[in-house]
């Protein structure tokens, strides 16, 4: 039975792509596309989705996440800008309610693999810096992915990598992690040239989320299951 999906932020750049990909996919039916002028509560009640994807803005994502969690649906929060303590609150609430969901700072499978490489390298290099570059309209800085990468490095070797953020036309997303040691450096670069890069991960998230019984943070939980 295809899963019913509501896409909030459906008319934005990510939202339009998500609609296009999920509408073509036999595992899913897009039952609602909502934007700034829709009432999310009313649309969830009217269309009874299994999954609600949020691809909106940092200004409204916290409110949207709380709204979505009031209903028996699986949230997938792809919007950037949630603070660490807000993520923790959402995870705690989902554990109490046994409600599956995902918060995905980066749907790109390449970005997840970059983080995995970085984690391995951090065992051997004790100094690192992160340079992340995004298009000029990205509101939040540093990016959620850079914060997550820094956290992972810190968990391995206790170094707190500085993050440098660039917001310029010409970029979609690029993250460079530079490790330094005496007389050598090692750099891992991940580069996205089009939002198409996020769609395989978004589909994977929709396929896996209904097997979860709490909210997880990161697409890696979908790759490991
Ligand atoms: N997780 C990932 O892999 C990933 C990848 C790329 C981007 N992102 C994030 O995803 C989000 C969307 O990115 P984008 O490039 O698609 O941005 P975008 O083009 O600006 O789209 C955002 C959409 O959300 C709508 N919106 C604003 N407030 C809303 C509200 N209260 N309720 C419903 N819709 C609302 C906007 O409508 P208006 O135009 O009327 O304001 C717009 O259509 C951003 O936070 C971005 O950082 C995540």
Asked about 138 being catalytic, the answer comes back as yes
Reply yes or no: is the peptide bond before residue 142 cis, omega within 30 of 0. yes
Q: Which of 6, 8, 9 to mutate to test the pocket of ligand 1 (most atoms within 8 A of CB)?
A: 9
Domain extent for 97: 3-106+197-223
CATH code, 15: 3.40.50.720
Q: Could you confirm whether 134 is annotated as catalytic?
A: yes
- Tell me the pLDDT tens digit for each residue of 20-40: 999 999 999 999 999 999 999
> What is the rounded distance in angstroms from the CA atom of residue 28 to the CA atom of residue 21?
10
For residues 10 and 101, state if they share a domain: yes
pTM of the predicted model as reported, rounded to 2 decimal places = 0.92
Q: Please report, for the domain that includes residue 120, its CATH number.
A: 3.30.360.10
52 in the same domain as 141: no
Per-residue b or e along 188-213, where b marks 16 or more CB atoms closer than 10 Å to that residue's CB: bebbbeebebbbebbbbbbebbeebe
Pick the catalytic residue: 134, 135, 164, 190? Answer: 134
Tell whether 55 and 89 lie within a shared domain. yes
Whether residues 123 and 71 fall in one domain: no
User: What distance in angstroms lies between residue 128's CA and the mean position of ligand 1's atoms?
Assistant: 31
pLDDT class for 225, splitting at 50, 70, 90? low
pLDDT at 167 over 90: yes
Q: For 185-205, write each residue's pLDDT tens digit.
A: 999 999 999 999 999 999 999
Inform me whether the pLDDT recorded for 81 exceeds 90: no
Could you tell me which residue, 209 or 147, shows the higher pLDDT? 209
Does 169 lie in the same domain as 153?
yes
Write out residues with Cβ below 6 Å of ligand 1. 8-9, 11-15, 34-36, 55-58, 60, 78-81, 104-107, 138, 198
Pair 180, 92 in one domain: no
Residues 82 and 8 in one domain: yes
Indicate whether 166 and 209 sit together in one domain. no
Q: Are residues 78 and 116 in the same domain?
A: no
Mean pLDDT of the chain: 96
CB atoms within 10 A of CB 143: 24
| Span 120-166, pLDDT tens digits | 999 999 999 999 999 999 878 899 899 989 999 999 999 999 999 99
Ligand 1 centroid to residue 202 C-alpha, Å: 15
Closest ligand 1 atom to the C-alpha of 134? 47
| 74 and 15 together in one domain | yes
pLDDT score at 5:
98
217 near 106, Cβ under 8 Å?
no
pLDDT mean over 179-188: 97
Task: Tally the domains of the chain.
Answer: 2
């Amino acid at each position: 039975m295809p899963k019913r999906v509501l896409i909030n932020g459906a008319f934005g750049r990510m939202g339009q792509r998500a609609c296009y990909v999920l509408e073509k996919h036999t595992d899913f039916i897009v039952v609602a596309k909502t934007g700034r002028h829709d009432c999310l509560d009313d649309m969830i009640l009217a269309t009874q989705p299994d999954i609600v994807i949020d691809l909106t803005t940092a200004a409204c994502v916290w409110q949207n996440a709380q709204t979505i969690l009031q209903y028996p649906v699986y949230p997938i929060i792809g919007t950037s800008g949630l603070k660490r303590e807000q993520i923790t609150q959402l995870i705690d609430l989902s554990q109490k309610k046994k409600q599956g969901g995902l918060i995905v700072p980066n749907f790109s499978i390449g970005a997840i693999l970059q983080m995995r490489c970085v984690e391995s390298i951090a065992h051997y290099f004790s100094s690192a810096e992160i340079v992340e570059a995004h298009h000029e309209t990205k509101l939040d800085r540093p990016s959620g992915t850079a914060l997550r990468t820094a956290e992972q490095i810190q968990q391995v070797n206790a170094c707190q990598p500085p993050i440098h953020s660039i917001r310029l036309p010409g970029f979609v997303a690029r993250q460079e992690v530079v490790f330094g040691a005496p007389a050598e450096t090692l750099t891992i670069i991940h580069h996205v040239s089009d939002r198409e890069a996020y769609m395989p991960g978004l589909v994977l998230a929709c396929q896996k989320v209904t097997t979860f019984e709490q909210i997880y943070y990161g697409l890696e939980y979908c790759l490991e299951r």
